[in-house]
Amino acid sequence: MPEFTGWLLDLFDDPREGLVLYFIDEKGAHHRLTRPFPVTFYALGSDAQLRALWRQLSNRPDEITLCRTHRMDVFKRQDVTVLGVTVKNPYQAGKIFHETAAQFPELEYADADLNISLRFAAETGAFPLCRCQVWSDEVGQLTHIKVLEDAWLLKATPIPLRTMSLAPDVAPHHAKPRYLIVEVAGEEYHLDLHTWRPLLINLRALIQRHDPDLLLTDWGDTWLLPKLMAQSEKYHIPLGLNREIGRGVSWHEERTYFSYGQIIFRGQQIHLFGRCHIDRQNAVLWNDYELDGTIEVSRVTALPLQTAARVSPGTGISSIEMLTALREGILVPWQKQQAEMLKPAADLFTADQGGLVYQPKIGVHKNVAEIDFVSLYPAIMVYFNISPETILPDPNGENLVPALGLAIDNSQDGLIPKALRPLLEKRIEMKKHLASTPNWDPFRKNFKRRASALKWLLVTCFGYLGYKNARFGRIEAHQAVTAYGREALLRAKEAAEDMGFEVIQLYVDGLWVHHPQKTRPEDIQPLLLEIQERTGLPISLDGIYRWVVFVGSRQNKKRAVANRYFGVFQDGSIKVRGIDTRRHDSTPFVSEAQMHLLELLASKDQPEDALPEAVDYLRARLRALRSGHVSLPDLLVRQRLGRKLEAYRTPSPAARAVMQLQAAGKEMRPGQRVPFIYTLGKPGVFAWDRPQAPNPHAVDVARYQRLLLRAAGIVLESWGMDEEKLTERVLSDASQLRLPVPPKQHPRKHRSNIPGVVHPAMDRALKGQIH
């Protein structure tokens, strides 16, 4: 009985063998094993309907077995009679299910369209990239698998993954790439893209020699692999991209969808068999958490690595919930039927609200402690047992949800809390661990990335509860979570005020408080304990600001907006929200300057002292701009195309840039970001990805000057220098002829290190805006 220890790399269904699994052992060698893997879906309906279905399917005994049984319907809170349809070969299951559903449309179905990886995980406990011990027989059939490290382990043994990276020398939508850069085993090769035959032969040799487990590409989904495959066919030089012989690659279509009120575009995808392909340019949140985070997502969601790299956190959460349901024997509905309970219209006013958000007092605040509930919404779901089946319409019951006329059944753990608890606990553990890990620790980066992946999943799980197509979503559960969230925040506010703090700001899951004498972290501890006592939820001190500035809205300076601020913590780190530095569409020229000004302010005991230096710096930047010393990429604006081109009445700058691209034969879809430069005259923009090079003299210098001074004004206004004064001071120097002084330190490298930087979509998710 051969046996080895290793990791599950990939698994997929197969027309002949049922299930094919690829493993890597501890030496890095790969093993291909197979296993028969029948899968079952269920049909629900009246006895007569189920009998008709039985008659229809019973004439295919070599493919299908049938059984009448009972399964748990989580929405009905009871076992229901179902017809179980077990398809012997999982490869046939999808086809047979869709035929059945088309023939018997009036039936309800469950466990119908689940990823095979989830089914395998539910049955054996083994999930993609898990470390396991594997037994097989002499014909290569998997006989037994034992998981050695579960998905919730804090430090997993590193996988000896063999990685090959493939990237064109330049973004293909921007210019024509000249060569392909291949990186493998510490070597770098440049293959000429003008001579396909030698390129293909060399690439094939490299793939054969190194036999990578993972192909990491740039634009592999949308450009490189399609191109390579077409050329490989043309020259009859097979590349062996797949490990699995006899399988073509799997194509997934491009799509555009809405998420948190934002339009998102995802390009087509190419998945391989037996080897994983990840396109860094098409992977979800790659810039945020890279391969470490992607592996983490794959492990905790039990989705194959190639899938995990490309799905939204919402799909990840959905997988975790479905896996829990499968393990518990709970039906996973194919189409959710559950409607909202009938409730008095009077309740809607209270129920139909998001998180509690204060309007902060505009201006500078000194010695402010920021206190955050740790993963507030997931914690509420887990600790208060909020799940579609635990919410009852009984207003006289116990465990009333604050002010909603709903009660929670605490007699057993709900499905959602069961699914989320390990995820939440792992995240909290990781956060603790990170806090005690020194900066030089080699594992720190890996930890940070994985923690970020978990954070995304947790941030999404609340919105997903309210998503209309979520299998285990329920509007009442969604409302209960926000109701508890508001209650928790108000109790925290009351605790703070009872202890003599002034509340500066409340924002969904955090509060900003000030006390003239309590300015050290240890002074805040009693408040943290008190809040924890009053709410039953974990809370932590994010930090104490030396000063923090809340700025007014763009439209009306007097009107406060909740999430537009910047500040400096006692340890000198800077936190910024909602201003140019943080905006994805602002140019590096502007956002780096704004960040540099913040660093100047942070470097002084009295921020006002930084003003002369700030003015000098801005003058230098403007001189650099006027004399063409700012590189064009630093002037790029990246705006999202909000809708189809035809839908614009007055085209936005982004839309005008897209028109230029269209004229050059390049298509852009809504949701894609369009890089462009502001230029003089009409149409006022130059799309970066046009075939021609932009004319550096056509840059709309006045416009960039305005953008720079406006961004600087936001940061300096509170220290006595608003945009108007600043413009006057900075431009008074225009006649002076001095050599441009470049800033001592280019601020760009600080950007990625801003603490507490959160993606804007995550912000929206926190605010309770839902898809």
Partner 1 sequence: MNKQIISFPVPKTGKISLVVAPKTVIHSLMSMLAVLALRGRVIVVDGGNCFDAYSLARALRRRTHQIQPALKAVQLSRAFTCYQMVAMLSELPVDGTPVIVLDLLSTFLDENVNFSKRQRLLESSLNLLRQISEGAPVAAWARAHPAAEGEYQQLLMPLLETAHDIWELQAPEIPDHQLPLF
Partner 2 sequence: MGRTLPSATQLMLQEEASLARFRRALRRGDQLVFDDLFTSAQKHISAAAYAAHALPFETFLMAMLLEEHKELMRLREIVERLREMHA
Torsion-angle region of 23 (φ positive above 0: left; ψ -120 to 50: alpha; else: beta): beta
The only residue of 32, 336, 690, 759 in contact with partner 1, by rule CB under 8 A: 336
Nearer to partner 1, 102 or 739 (CB): 102
Cβ atoms of 128 and 11 within 8 Å: the answer is yes
Cβ count within 10 A of residue 654:
24
Cβ count within 10 A of residue 528:
18
26 binds, among partner 1, partner 2, none (CB under 5 to 8 A by kind): none
In this structure, which amino acid lies at residue 671?
A: G
Q: How far is the CB of 345 from partner 2 (least distance, A)?
A: 9
Q: Is 341 in the site for partner 1 (CB under 8 A)?
A: yes
Of 21-29, 334-342, 358-366, 639-647: span binding partner 1 (CB under 8 A)? 334-342
Site for partner 1 in 446-485 (CB under 8 A): 468-469, 475
Q: How far is the CB of 689 from partner 2 (least distance, A)?
A: 34
Cβ atoms of 294 and 278 within 8 Å: the answer is yes
Site for partner 2 in 478-507 (CB under 8 A): 478, 486, 490, 506
The only residue of 55, 105, 439, 646 in contact with partner 1, by rule CB under 8 A: 105
Q: In whole angstroms, how far apart are CA 691 and each of 612, 662, 664, 707?
A: 43, 11, 7, 27
**Cα–Cα distance, 482 to 301 (Å, whole number):** 25
Of 98-106, 181-189, 356-364, 565-573: span binding partner 2 (CB under 8 A)? 356-364
The SS3 of residue 625 is helix
**Cα–Cα distance, 721 to 729 (Å, whole number):** 9
The only residue of 210, 343, 444, 729 in contact with partner 1, by rule CB under 8 A: 343
Q: CB neighbours of 231 closer than 8 A, spacing ≥ 6?
A: 196, 199, 200
Q: What is the 3-state secondary structure (H, E, C) of 59-70?
A: CCCCCEEEEEEE
Binding pattern for the stretch 440-479 against partner 2, x by CB under 8 A and - elsewhere: --------------------------xxx----x-x--x-
Q: Tokens 């009295």 label which residue?
A: 606
Nearer to partner 1, 101 or 661 (CB): 101
Nearer to partner 1, 245 or 346 (CB): 346
Q: Is 337 in the site for partner 1 (CB under 8 A)?
A: yes
Q: Is 395 in the site for partner 2 (CB under 8 A)?
A: no
Cβ atoms of 748 and 630 within 8 Å: the answer is no
Sheet with strand 637-640: strands edge to edge: 637-640, 673-678, 685-687
In this structure, which amino acid lies at residue 636?
A: L
Consecutive H or E run containing 711: helix 701-716
Q: Is 337 in the site for partner 2 (CB under 8 A)?
A: no
Q: How far is the CB of 107 from partner 1 (least distance, A)?
A: 12
Q: Is 130 in the site for partner 2 (CB under 8 A)?
A: no
**Cα–Cα distance, 141 to 21 (Å, whole number):** 10
How buried is residue 699: exposed, middle or buried, by Cβ count under 10 Å (0-12/13-18/19+)? buried
Cβ count within 10 A of residue 712:
27
Nearer to partner 2, 276 or 489 (CB): 489
Instruction: Indicate the angle between helix axes 475-498 and 444-465, nearest 10 degrees.
Output: 120
486 binds, among partner 1, partner 2, none (CB under 5 to 8 A by kind): partner 2
Of 18-26, 41-49, 92-100, 335-343: span binding partner 1 (CB under 8 A)? 335-343
Number of residues that bind partner 2 (CB under 8 A): 25
Q: Is 419 in the site for partner 2 (CB under 8 A)?
A: no
Q: How far is the CB of 59 from partner 1 (least distance, A)?
A: 26
Instruction: Indicate the angle between helix axes 475-498 and 376-383, nearest 10 degrees.
Output: 110
354 binds, among partner 1, partner 2, none (CB under 5 to 8 A by kind): partner 2
Buried b (16+ CB within 10 A) or exposed e, 556-585: eeeebbbbbbbbbbeeeebbbbbbbbbeee
Q: CB neighbours of 130 closer than 8 A, spacing ≥ 6?
A: 7, 8, 147, 148, 149, 150, 151, 299
The only residue of 558, 649, 744, 749 in contact with partner 2, by rule CB under 8 A: 558
Nearer to partner 2, 490 or 632 (CB): 490
**Cα–Cα distance, 622 to 450 (Å, whole number):** 40
358 binds, among partner 2, partner 1, none (CB under 5 to 8 A by kind): partner 2
Of 337-345, 357-365, 394-402, 752-760: span binding partner 1 (CB under 8 A)? 337-345
Cβ atoms of 100 and 92 within 8 Å: the answer is no
C-alpha 56: how far from chain center: 44
The only residue of 140, 354, 422, 683 in contact with partner 2, by rule CB under 8 A: 354
558 binds, among partner 1, partner 2, none (CB under 5 to 8 A by kind): partner 2
The only residue of 348, 647, 663, 741 in contact with partner 2, by rule CB under 8 A: 348
**Cα–Cα distance, 436 to 344 (Å, whole number):** 50
Nearer to partner 2, 350 or 652 (CB): 350
Q: Tokens 């997934």 label which residue?
A: 252
Q: Is 556 in the site for partner 2 (CB under 8 A)?
A: yes
The only residue of 163, 202, 262, 353 in contact with partner 2, by rule CB under 8 A: 353
Q: How far is the CB of 349 from partner 2 (least distance, A)?
A: 4
The only residue of 1, 16, 342, 349 in contact with partner 2, by rule CB under 8 A: 349
Cβ atoms of 588 and 748 within 8 Å: the answer is yes
Nearer to partner 2, 20 or 475 (CB): 475
Helix H segments across 155-285?
196-210, 225-234
Q: Is 139 in the site for partner 2 (CB under 8 A)?
A: no
Number of residues that bind partner 1 (CB under 8 A): 19
Q: CB neighbours of 408 closer than 8 A, spacing ≥ 6?
A: 384, 385, 386, 390, 391, 392, 399, 400, 401, 480
Nearer to partner 1, 178 or 255 (CB): 255
Nearer to partner 2, 479 or 672 (CB): 479
Site for partner 2 in 501-540 (CB under 8 A): 506
Q: Is 46 in the site for partner 1 (CB under 8 A)?
A: no
339 binds, among partner 2, partner 1, none (CB under 5 to 8 A by kind): partner 1
Q: How far is the CB of 482 from partner 1 (least distance, A)?
A: 16
Q: Is 350 in the site for partner 2 (CB under 8 A)?
A: yes
Closest to 194 (Cα-Cα) out of 180, 178, 206: 178
The SS3 of residue 2 is coil
**Cα–Cα distance, 312 to 318 (Å, whole number):** 10
The only residue of 16, 59, 287, 349 in contact with partner 1, by rule CB under 8 A: 349
Q: How far is the CB of 344 from partner 1 (least distance, A)?
A: 4
**Cα–Cα distance, 118 to 126 (Å, whole number):** 9
Q: Is 78 in the site for partner 1 (CB under 8 A)?
A: no
Which residues bind to partner 2, rule: CB under 8 A?
346, 348-350, 352-354, 356-359, 466-468, 473, 475, 478, 486, 490, 506, 556, 558-560, 770
Which residues bind to partner 1, rule: CB under 8 A?
105-106, 335-346, 348-349, 468-469, 475
